[in-house]
Amino acid sequence: MKGHYPCEQALAAAAFAVQKSATIVMGSPLTLYVEHAVFAILQKNKSTLTTQRVSGYEAILSIPSLQVVRCHTVNPATFFAHPVSEDEQVHDCATYTPEEESEVKEDPIPGSMLLFVDGSSFIDQETGIRHSGAAVVRAEQQGSSDTLQIVSQIPLPSHFSTQAAELVDMIEALQHAEGLEVTIYSDSAYVTTTMHSTIRRWERRGFLKSDGSPVMHKDLLEQLIKALTLPSKVAVIKCAAHTNQQDLISRGNTLADWAAKTSPNFSEQDEHTLGMMIDNRVLLSYHPHTLRQHDCTYANCKNKHYLMKGSCGSSEGVYSHQQILSIGKKVQANQ
C-alpha cells in the first residue's frame, strides 16, 4: 500500500487484520478498533484504490460477526505507522486529501488561460502504418465571441500508444502555460485521473509497481511531474468527447482531436528532424522546412529521428537544451 493515502493504508491494514485472525476467531464475535473511518473511506468518491480492491475490502469488513469501532487512543499499531502531519491528526476520512493531491483543481479557474488537449494513436487503413500524435488548442474569449487556435501539433513515434500521446499533450499544455493560471480540458479519463490522483501516488512509490518494475510510461510521468510546477495554478477537467455540439468546450475538444489525428507523420520526416527535448526525450519535432521558414537554424544530426543533446559538436549546429526550447517556442509563436 506504499503511495496510498494514510486513510487507505489504514483500511488495508484493517482488512488484513480481519483476514489473519479468521483462523483464530473461527466465526466468533470480533471487535476491531481502528483509528480511521474505514466504511466512509470505502464510500469515498475520489480514491486511489481500484474498484476490485474496494470490493474485496468491503466483503471482508462486512461479515456479520465483525464490529468495527473507531478510536483515537494510542494503540501499538500507531507506533509502526508513518509520522503523522498536523493536517492528518484531525480530519474527515471521507473528504481528506493530502495537500499535494489537491494542487490540480477540478473546477475551471476564472480568468485563466483555456486550453484543450488530445492525443491519438491509430493505424492508417490504407498504409497499415500506425500514426501517433498529440495537440494543444487555445481558446481566446473576447466578450460574447471566442476563437480557437492550434498552438501545437506534435508528431510522435509510431510506438507511442494513445495513453502516452495523452501524457505528451498534457506536458506540452503545462509548458505552454508556464507562469500563468490555466484550465485544461481533456476527454481522456486516463490523463485526468492521472493528474488528479495517481501521479502523486506513483511519485511517492518511486514510479515502481509492487513487483519492483517501472510503471508504464515512467519517463513521461516524471516529465509530467516537472511540468506540473510550471503554471502558477492548474485545473484539469474531463469533458465529453465527440458531442457534435457548438458550445466552446465541445468545439475546442473537437479541434484538438482533429489536430492530433492530422499531425505530421513522424515516420515520414527526414534525417534532419529537430526534436524538442526534455531530459533527452523527444516531445516535439519540427521539420527543417518549418525551421527555415522562420529563419531558425537546424541541426544536421546523424540520428534519423532524434536530436540527442550532446550527440554532435556545437560547431555543427547542435543546441543546448534551453536553446532548443527557445527555437521551438519561436517556431510555435510564428505558426
Predicted confidence band of residue 323 (pLDDT cuts 50, 70, 90): very low
User: Tens digit of pLDDT for each residue in 255-271?
Assistant: 999 888 887 665 444 33
* Whether residue 5 has pLDDT greater than 50: yes
User: Tens digit of pLDDT for each residue in 268-294?
Assistant: 443 333 344 333 333 333 333 333 333
* Whether residue 95 has pLDDT greater than 80: no
Do 172 and 283 meet the contact criterion of CB atoms below 8 Å apart? yes
pTM over 0.75: no
Do 151 and 332 meet the contact criterion of CB atoms below 8 Å apart? yes
Residue type, 3: G
- 145 to 71, 123, 182: CA distances (angstroms): 57, 37, 20
Average pLDDT in the chain:
72
Q: Which CATH superfamily includes the segment(s) 105-261?
A: Ribonuclease H-like superfamily/Ribonuclease H (3.30.420.10)
Do 249 and 256 meet the contact criterion of CB atoms below 8 Å apart? no
* Whether residue 217 has pLDDT greater than 80: yes
Sign of CA dihedral 212, 216, 220, 226: negative
Residue 185 DSSP SS3: strand
Q: What gap in Å lies between CA 62 and CA 59, rounded to an integer?
A: 5
Q: What value, to the nearest 5°, has the Cα angle with vertex 61 and ends 57 and 64?
A: 145
Closest by CA position to 76, among listed 4, 126, 13 = 13
Output the pLDDT for position 284.
Answer: 38
User: Tens digit of pLDDT for each residue in 97-156?
Assistant: 555 555 788 889 998 999 999 999 888 888 788 888 899 999 987 766 778 888 888 888
Output the pLDDT for position 185.
Answer: 96
Do 223 and 203 meet the contact criterion of CB atoms below 8 Å apart? no
Output the pLDDT for position 314.
Answer: 34
Output the pLDDT for position 180.
Answer: 94
Output the pLDDT for position 9.
Answer: 75
Output the pLDDT for position 182.
Answer: 95
Predicted confidence band of residue 83 (pLDDT cuts 50, 70, 90): low
**165 versus 45: which is more confidently predicted?**
165
**Domain positions in the chain:** 6-97, 105-261, 269-334
Left, alpha or beta for 80 (phi > 0: left; psi -120 to 50: alpha)? alpha
**242 versus 322: which is more confidently predicted?**
242
* Whether residue 205 has pLDDT greater than 70: yes
User: Tens digit of pLDDT for each residue in 176-204?
Assistant: 999 999 999 999 988 988 888 778 777 87
Output the pLDDT for position 203.
Answer: 81
Output the pLDDT for position 10.
Answer: 80
Q: DSSP states of 240-299 as a string?
A: -SS----SHHHHHHHHHHHHHHTS--GGG--TTPEEEEETTEEEEEE-HHHHHHTT----
